[in-house]
Structure 1
Amino acid sequence: MTTDDIMTAAEVHEASALDWMRGLARCSSATESMPMAEQEPLPEAMTREPPETKSPARWAYERILLYLRNFESQLDGEHEVALGFAGSDAGVLRIEGLGFFDPDILTFYGEDETGARTQLIQHVGQLNVMLRAVRKESPPSEPPRRIGFRLEEAQTSPISPSTA
């Protein structure tokens, strides 16, 4: 379709909905009751802009937030989320932050299993993220960190160059 084509309201709505399509298949009855990120409604902050206006980095950042939030919602009070390095024996990164740099870079901030500051800079074209549940290191009286929910809250008021 060219920019000169005239679309009905229904066609515009359908085209917009197709941009947000998601799929899910399950092959185990053990996961039937588990909520999956693909089934959850998209947060309002994610739907403000049409997908075609977002960079690949922003798109990946927003969707990873959904997966983080969903993964964390299934953890008990003794575990937190960490990122496993797919295809590597580099260990895991306990996620403390996530950022993106348009048009195509994602960055994960945190600590490795020894407590060393760790940062993963990843091109969206090579993105492989494995979320892992790791025992929290904070005292039992402290609640586990839930980074996915905090990052989503931060996304509702994006950083602009004037506030960075």
Structure 2
Amino acid sequence: MQAGDIGDALSQLERGLYNKNNPAGYMLERVRRLIAAFESKLGEDAEIGMTVSAGSTIRLRSIGASDPDMLIFTGLDDHGAKACLLQHHSQLSLLLVAVPKIEDKPFRIGFV
């Protein structure tokens, strides 16, 4: 085994321990990739939203994590008011929807 191999193995071990101890951060990475893939298929007349309780929609503006266990989704509700959804990583269930843009240019989350 060479020094580079040991360094790679240690990096993978550290990453695995981080993911185990911070499941929200790990879930955030996965959700970001899935949202980016969904968003890449939207036309210029739509932006990304997510359906929350009772059929209301949040126009998604950002997502984040509060490790070790909470995901934070921020955006605008159906009336343009600021909205924030706090979700435990173990209860995550997202319904992503394409919603009509509300400005000249559709909002894009911007991560890949």
1:79 aligns with 2:41: no
* Pairing partner for 2:106 from 119, 130, 144: 144
Task: In structure 2, list runs of 5 or more residues that go unmatched.
Answer: none
What are the superposed Cα offsets for residues 53-107 of structure 1, whole Å, 9 maximum, x if unpaired? 221110111111001100011000000000112xx31501101111101100001
Letter in 1 for 2:76: E
TM-score by length of 1: 0.56
* Pairing partner for 1:63 from 16, 20, 30: 30
Q: Distance in 1 between matches of 2:69 and 2:84?
A: 16
* Pairing partner for 1:135 from 96, 100, 105: 100
Identity, in percent, stands at 33
What are the superposed Cα offsets for residues 109-145 of structure 1, whole Å, 9 maximum, x if unpaired? 1111111111000001111111100000102xxx311
Letter in 2 for 1:111: L
Question: What secondary structure does 1:89 align onto?
Answer: helix
Task: In structure 1, list runs of 5 or more residues that go unmatched.
Answer: 1-7, 17-46, 153-164
Question: What secondary structure does 2:48 align onto?
Answer: strand
Q: Which has the higher contact order (CA 8 A, sep 6+)?
A: 2
The number of aligned residues is: 102
Give the aligned CA root-mean-square deviation in angstroms: 2.2
Higher Cα radius of gyration: 1
Q: Which has the higher strand share?
A: 2
